[in-house]
Every structure is written in structure tokens, then in C-alpha cells.
Structure 1
């Protein structure tokens, strides 16, 4: 199932799902199903994705039942269906409870450090590491992303995010999949000149990552990926383009620490909650810092960054100058 959050022209932020190139509003679809005598549940479904996730398995199960109700209908005739090209998609979870971003692809770490003349840190192989980033700075596909005035070295990062769908603490790696609501594409925008100075202090990154994180276009549930599953990894091609030029290509299955490992580490002595977001870190070749500015300059206003991951769709954003005007580019 493909879950989305979108901006309803009259009702504000809403949870929905994709079906046949339309966005269907979950709460409105439930009401319609009840009117038709096709929905046994009388408990109103929350109108936002955060609310649905907070119900844990019950919310996602109810959403699936609603999707089954509309599966064999003429979607365009439904009053709560909006053509995808007219929908303003937000990040699947617009305001996550928290955001932990890991550093889990060995190729990225080796290459990025090598470009700075540094060897691998031996401790990197001992356990997955992460930092907390700004969970209030998430945007969705087609949103404009401002280049902060304090940076000239703006970069993208091609990643995968998982959204937690079930509360857990001290989660075993073998049980981690039960806590994943789904996967989405993630772009961890980075101010590299600021980040370079911050990490010298021994903390951070902070302002180097503080301003924006893109996620979307939808949240895909794990049952949609069973045929490409390889143990606790998934065989999914990942690419990134700038202004139509492919710069990055990798595969999700090359991740050194699996998401099971990341969830186990994140939940050690700490409770994870529905709506928490966990990022994979950058896939090999997945950013300009790793590729080098001889391959591509730092990002500038007007640049279109498109990230595509098999099954997960395309996440696109255009860079603009901070405080500048402009309209989002809709596909």
C-alpha cells in the first residue's frame, strides 16, 4: 500500500493512499464505505498519517480494509479521489516525532573519507552510528528547498527512510521488521562548508543539516517488497539526477548495517514510537561530497534534484535562494 499525506484544498493536511494515479482520502473513503454498508468499523479513522500510525497495527489494518473497498471501483468517479497531478503531496509523515539519520553504507563512508585523505575509523564496523536532525524541517516531493544564506556548498544525499509503526524498546534485530510501517525515499540536504567546520569541534552536524529534509513521494508498506527481499535487505536500485544528469547509482542491498541493525541500535534503552523516522545514510555515490566537485559543482538555485528508488517512486525538489520567490514544479 502506498500511503501519502497531502494538502486538501479545504480541509488541510490529510492522510490518503495512491490508487490508479489518484489520491484517495482515507477518512473520507471510510465514510463513503460506511454509507454503502461496506465498512463494519464505526470508529472514525484519524485524518492525518501521524494519527493513523499512533493507532499502531489497528490504524494500518483499517486503512488496508478501506483500500480493498475501493480496489475494484472506478476511482475517478469517487467524490474523495483527487488526480495525482493536482495533489500537493507533503512528506508522508510531515512532522515526525523524531528523526535519526544513520551512516550505514560502507562505500559512501570509505569514499567520502578517502577524498579528505582519511582512513576508515575502525570503530565504524563495531556498531551503527547516527545523529539527530530537525524533525520539524521535513518537506515533500515537488516542494522548493531554500539554500540557506549561510552556505555555498549545498549538497543532496540519496537515502532510504523507514517509518516506525509500532512502539518498542530494546528491539531485537530479528523482530525489527514488525516495527516498520514502510519505506520512503529520503534526501538529507547538507551544507557541506558549515558541516566541515562543525565536526571539527567534536559535535554535529548541526546547522549543516538543520534546514531541510525531503521525504516521499509516498510510504510503501513492506508487503509490496516481498519479491525483492533478500533476508533483511532489499534489492532496490537507487539513482539521483541533477537537472536531468544522472550522478548517483547504487542499490539498497549494499547497506552494511541493515535496518534491523539500525532499529536494534536506536531502541537500545530507548523507546521508539510510531511516527519516528530512521534514515539509512547515503548510498555509495549518493552525494556531491563523495563524487567530488570535478564531477559536479555544489547545488545552486534553480537546480532540480530527482531521486528515484525502485518501487518507492521519484522524489523531486528544486533549489531556491533563501527568501527568493518561486512556485513548486508539479509533475
Structure 2
């Protein structure tokens, strides 16, 4: 099924959305917000699925035409946001451009950090930041939303706790990040609030795209109207979602409503392009000795959208303008 959150208060109002993203219906009688549905998933999920089936069959009472412009992030406030670096080509290129190598245990243990988990922007919200000089960048990702994950779960079992998937723009400030990493405590100021695509999708709804702990399909990215990447998301990955969840669950349980990302999508085949400006600049540095593509400036736009094998949009698009603080 497909779910969304209409703009209302801090946490939005839960909607069930049709498969073609054309219509929607309020899920208030089942759960007022997506977080409340996740907290009571065993009871809420079958009822939401029944409403989804009715909506697609044209039987849902009080269904209405969906206006994507009214949607907030599906989960505006998450209990935890964990992001990884599971696409080796992304990390290897960026580090090679800086004259560095990946950690010795990169292919044995997932590289992860814990980011800001509140204030996720909606798909079309302006990305407002203090300065262009901070090296503003986007990162195209798909994030899992989990239910309650027990301490000590293994990688195979961990995938069973994934409730939904969402499109993610992990906003990064490239001029700040290197200095933070050198201090060895990791990202903080260099990782402001991120944004989520408008539609959250259950694993079963993905069909053949959801296999072996990965979501396949084509991630397309545009910056300033130029297509930057057309990337297969289900390949060239060192770790799947279950691996990342299990890695963190070695020492902590998860609350329902935790987001887990695999990191910026990237393929070994350079011809498919990139999922962020940092990687394009890294490739320019490796090939030509210097980066030529500028980072994002105020007024620039970014669009990210993931497509299935038939060319259908899976999660709706993220399309945002970079803007100065109001």
C-alpha cells in the first residue's frame, strides 16, 4: 500500500493513497498519523490495507483527488535517522579525489552515522540554508522506515521489521564535512535537515523491485534542469538494509519510526551518472585534476525521482529550490 501525510501540525494527517497517486482518503479512523500507525502496526496495517484496496477499486467513501502540493514528509519527525554508505563506488570516488582510501574494514562492517531525525522537509519545500559558501549538495537515497526492532536481530531477520520505504534527499554541506570528519566525532553541522518524498510504500507494494534486502529500479536526478544520473539502485551494493539494521541493533533496539538509509546511490558504471554533486566533482578531479561543477547556489533546483521497470514513479518526486534563510 501507499501512504502519505497531509500537512497538519507537526506530524501531518495520515492518508491512504491510490496506486496511481491520483486519489487519496483520510485514514483518521484507523490512525491519525503515520507514527501512530507504526506504533500499532499489527492492528493498523490490515485495516489500512483494506482501505487501500477499496480506494484502488473505487469503493472508498470520501475519496478525493490527491493534490501532492498539500503533502508534508510522510514522517516529519522520526525517532531515529541512521544513514549508511553502502554503495562502494560513491565512497571510493570521493575519497580518491581527496587522496584518501576507504577504511580497511569497509567491506566487513557498514559505514554509518546517526543524523538529525526531526524536521524532515516535504518534497517541495525550499531548502533554506545560511550560506552558499558551505558547499550545498543533495544526495539521492531510498530510506527504510522500521517498526520496533529488537536488540540483537540478525541481518536476515532485520528485513522483516521494515514497514515502508521513502525517497530521501540527504542534504550535505561539503565545505563543512571534511573538517568535522577530521575531528573524529563525525557529522553534525555539515548535515542539516533532509527531505522525504511524498509517498511511503510498503515492501509488498514494490513487487519484484524488493528482493534480497534491496530496492531495485532507476533513480533519476536533475540539477538546474540537467539530468545528472540514471542509476540502478539494486546493484553495486556492499550491504543491504538488513545488514545495516543488524549492525546497529548489536547494541540498541529501535523504536518504531526509525529511518535507515543505504547512502547516496551509485553504480560502478560511470556512464550512468551520479546521485550527488560531490561525486561528480570527485570524478572530475580524478579525470581532469580539478572539479568544475559548482555546488548548489540559491535559486537552483534539484529533482529526484525513482522509477519502476515500466517507468512509473514509485515514491513521487522530490523537487526543491535552494534558498537563503528567510
TM-score by length of 2: 0.86
Q: Distance in 1 between matches of 2:11 and 2:41?
A: 23
* SS of equivalent residue, structure 1 residue 69: helix
1:242 is displaced (CA, Å) by 0.7
Specify which structure has the higher proportion of strand: 1
1:118–1:167 CA distance, 2 compared to 1 (3 A): closer
What is the 5 A alignment of 1:197-216? Answer: 197-209=179-191, 211-216=192-197
Asked if 1:100 is matched to 2:82, the reply is yes
1:16 corresponds in structure 2 to 15
Match of 1:238 among 216, 219, 232: 219
CA–CA distance in structure 1, aligned partners of residues 175 and 105 of structure 2: 25
Q: Which segment is superposed worse, 54-63 or 145-154? A: 145-154
Q: Secondary structure at the match of 1:217?
A: coil
- Superposition deviation, residue 150 in structure 1: 7.8
Partner of 1:329: none
Q: Please give the secondary structure, in 1, of the residue aligned with 2:186.
A: coil
The one of 36, 39, 52 equivalent to 1:54 is 39
In structure 2, what is the equivalent of residue 306 of structure 1?
A: 303
SS of the equivalent of 2:49 reads helix
Taking the aligned partners of 2:11 and 2:76, their CA distance within structure 1 comes to 12
CA contact (8 A) 2:147 2:162 kept: yes
Give the aligned partner of residue 290 of structure 1.
Answer: 279
The residue correspondences of 1:120-269 to structure 2 (distance < 5 A) are: 120-149=102-131, 151-209=133-191, 211-254=192-235, 255-269=237-251
Using the TM superposition, give the Cα deviation of residue 51 of structure 1 relative to its aligned residue in structure 2, in angstroms: 0.5
User: Runs of 5+ in structure 2 lacking a partner?
Assistant: 267-273, 285-290, 308-313
1:64 is aligned to: 49
1:54-96 CA-to-partner distances (Å, cap 9, x unmatched) read 0022222221122223332277xx53524324x4211111100
Partner of 1:321: 324
Give the structure 2 partner of residue 37 of structure 1. Answer: none
CA contact (8 A) 2:132 2:296 kept: no
Task: Give the whole-Å Cα distance in 2 for the aligned partners of 1:235 and 1:68.
Answer: 24
CA displacement, residues 243-268 of structure 1 (integer Å, 9 cap, x when unaligned): 22111232221221001101111211
Q: Which 4+ runs in 1 deviate beyond 6 A?
A: none
Which residue does 1:81 correspond to in 2? 64
Of the structure 1 ranges 314-323 and 147-156, higher mean CA displacement relative to structure 2 is found in 147-156
For residues 18 and 227 of structure 1, the distance between their equivalents in structure 2, rounded to whole angstroms, comes to 20
Give the alignment's TM-score, normalised by structure 1. 0.85
- Give RMSD over aligned pairs: 2.1
Deviations 1:158-186 (A, max 9, x none): 11100002432211111122100111111
